[in-house]
Amino acid sequence: MTEVARFYILSHIFIALIGGVLLLAIWYHIRKQFKYILEEDESEKRVDKALLYLSFAMFVWVVSGVWSYAGMVFSFIDTQGYQLGVNLLSIVNNMFLLLALFYFYYAPQFIYHNKRNIKKIIGLIVATAAITFILPQLLGNSNTIQNIKISSIPDLLLSAFLCYLLGVSFYRTFAYRGLKLIGIIAVLVIVLTFTSQVSEAFLTFGNDFSNNFIKIIAKTSLIAVFLVLATIWVIRLASMPKPNEMAISFLDWSLVKINIPTKGIVDQVIDFGSKTTQYKNLLKFAIRRKYAEGVSQSILVNLGGEITNQTYVTRIIENINDILQLEGNEKLDRRDLFIFIGESRYRLRIIPENITIDKALLEEFSETPENKEYKAICN
């Protein structure tokens, strides 16, 4: 083992260990401090475990580093058992990163809270690891052609896919919070992380020092990005209004009075004007929340649902922000008013007691042919 390799592996172990412990500590604090928000819905507990899974991924890095160090010290790095261990650790690490993305609000739509696709990708991860393990046995000396390690190509392609998912998720998360520069840095770090793995397949890429140098910078930077993400999440939860402190009153067609003190909104009257679709959708959420029970308090938001696209839900918030000219921390987020309860269903977070609807307005709305269901709910 060269001194460069020894330095890299030991640095890798301790940096990943510190990062994992810090992420786990932040997650524990968040779970303790903001439990009322994370578990406010009794029927579908919304416990975001993204940071927990990211910390687990860090601990897998620690185990991976220890395994690599042991392989070099005890000279079994060229055995099938060592390679099997590497593949298993790779599966577990990629799985934890993928599970973390499952809880990223701004992850690509086919990942965020989509169990079916997550299972498919986990299957892909396992299949890739199996191929990576089997190919050297099948190809023998032909596994390396023109300094390209054939068995490492599938794993490199999988890494590219996961890096893409991470890059998109991190950039969207930071950019939406007004931190585009950090989002760009996060993308660059993830590109660097992918670059650090290229030498596993293309053997002439860089040298021992440069490759290990890139790896240590990439992993250290990635952990730093994770910690910034944790900080953003804490700030987000701290500024999130409680359900019982918000109030909404539907005064007349297009007119709504809203009260969210933590956002600086005190008895503000909003005139939706010509934006009748957003007003009606908000009214539907309010009626269901106030008068319905159980799952009927929520609305199915998908192509075959009552609201056909999530964009219509987002536009409600955008219109409120535009009309009230909210900026910075006072700007409303979709999650301030709506909670996702699973299976494409959303409901209003405001407690029923704090929702008032003008009787004449309610009667007019429920009497229209397309809203007969709401008449039954109100009765």
pLDDT tens column, 86-125: 888 988 998 899 888 888 878 887 886 677 888 888 888 8
301 secondary structure, DSSP code:
B
pLDDT of residue 36: 67
- C-alpha–C-alpha distance, residues 210 and 224, integer Å: 21
pLDDT of residue 142: 82
pLDDT of residue 344: 79
Identify the domain boundary among 216, 238, 260.
238
The answer on 257 and 223 residing in a single domain is no
- C-alpha–C-alpha distance, residues 182 and 229, integer Å: 10
- Which residues, in sequence order, are bridge partners of residue 250? 256, 357
Max avg pLDDT among 122-126, 136-140, 237-241: 122-126
pLDDT-derived band at 38, boundaries 50, 70, 90: low
The answer on 249 and 367 residing in a single domain is yes
Question: In sequence order, what DSSP letters do the residues of 162-174 get, joined into one string?
Answer: HHHHHHHHHHHHH
- C-alpha–C-alpha distance, residues 190 and 333, integer Å: 27
Other Cβ atoms closer than 10 A to 163: 20
The answer on 156 and 20 residing in a single domain is yes
pLDDT-derived band at 235, boundaries 50, 70, 90: confident
Helical residues (DSSP H) of 43-152, grouped into ranges: 50-73, 80-101, 115-139
The answer on 363 and 220 residing in a single domain is no
The answer on 349 and 311 residing in a single domain is yes
pLDDT of residue 41: 47
The answer on 175 and 127 residing in a single domain is yes
Query: One-letter amino acid identity for 284?
Result: K
Identify the domain boundary among 221, 238, 255.
238
- C-alpha–C-alpha distance, residues 8 and 124, integer Å: 30
**Is 133 strand, coil or helix?**
helix
Please check the confidence at residue 134 and state whether its pLDDT lies above 80: yes
Please check the confidence at residue 182 and state whether its pLDDT lies above 90: yes
- Which of 43-52, 268-277, 364-373 has the least mean pLDDT? 43-52
Alpha carbon 20 to chain centroid distance? 18
The answer on 255 and 217 residing in a single domain is no
The answer on 274 and 175 residing in a single domain is no
Percent of the chain residues past pLDDT 90, beyond the cut: 36
Cβ proximity of 361 and 250 under 8 Å: yes
The answer on 222 and 260 residing in a single domain is no
The answer on 62 and 210 residing in a single domain is yes
User: What is the total count of domains within the chain?
Assistant: 2
Q: How many Cα neighbours within 13 Å face the side chain of 197?
A: 19
**242-300 per-position pLDDT tens digit:** 888 899 999 999 999 999 988 888 999 999 988 888 999 999 999 999 999 888 999 99
Could you list the residue range(s) of the whole structural domain that residue 231 is in?
3-238
The answer on 176 and 160 residing in a single domain is yes
- Which residues, in sequence order, are bridge partners of residue 247? 259
The answer on 234 and 256 residing in a single domain is no
CATH number at residue 63: 1.20.1070
pLDDT of residue 257: 95
Identify the domain boundary among 238, 260, 279.
238
